[in-house]
Amino acid sequence: MSQRFKLLMIATAAATALIPATVSAGTAKGNLVAAAMQSQDHQTLVAAVKAAGLVDTLAGRGPYTVFAPTDAAFAKLPAGTVETLLKPANRGQLRSVLTYHVVPGKVTSSQLVEAIRKGGGQAMLKTVQGGTLTARLSGTSVAITDAAGGTAMVTTVDLVQSNGIIHVTDAVSLPM
């Protein structure tokens, strides 16, 4: 096992230890939407999921892996972007952006790191939206690169829910 892989696993374990009990790693508490609703850091994501009409889908059977941007991540977007996306006329575009953060199946952080290792330093993740996210290691963290070339760092891992897993990110990934 490489030193880099060992460091990532140690960092993953440390990050997991800091997760609030309401959505603790390895303990399924509810579905993906319920977990986001309980998080004080994901209110923009919850509002977007509701506006896009994706609540039933993401609360459904799954399983899904969600790379969930925080409120601070949404705040990094250009002024007016979130407000524009939340308008009913832009529902299709909002759905596209949100489903770009969702990968079919349950992908744990250790599985993701293993896929990156096996992929020679990167793993291509096909999203529900139909696009691709590229995962790479950046130090001891996982970086997710979107189609627009933006990078989101995974800040919290393995928030296991009844219908999938949430990995928290510090940026919004864009499919365009």
Model pLDDT for residues 116-171, shown as the tens digit of each residue = 999 999 999 999 999 999 999 999 899 999 999 999 999 999 999 999 999 999 99
Q: Which has more pLDDT, 118 or 28?
A: 118
Rounded-to-integer distance, Cα 87 and Cα 72, Å: 20
Q: Decide: pTM greater than 0.75.
A: yes
Task: Give mean pLDDT, residues 24-38.
Answer: 73
Grade residue 29 by pLDDT with cuts at 50, 70 and 90.
Answer: low
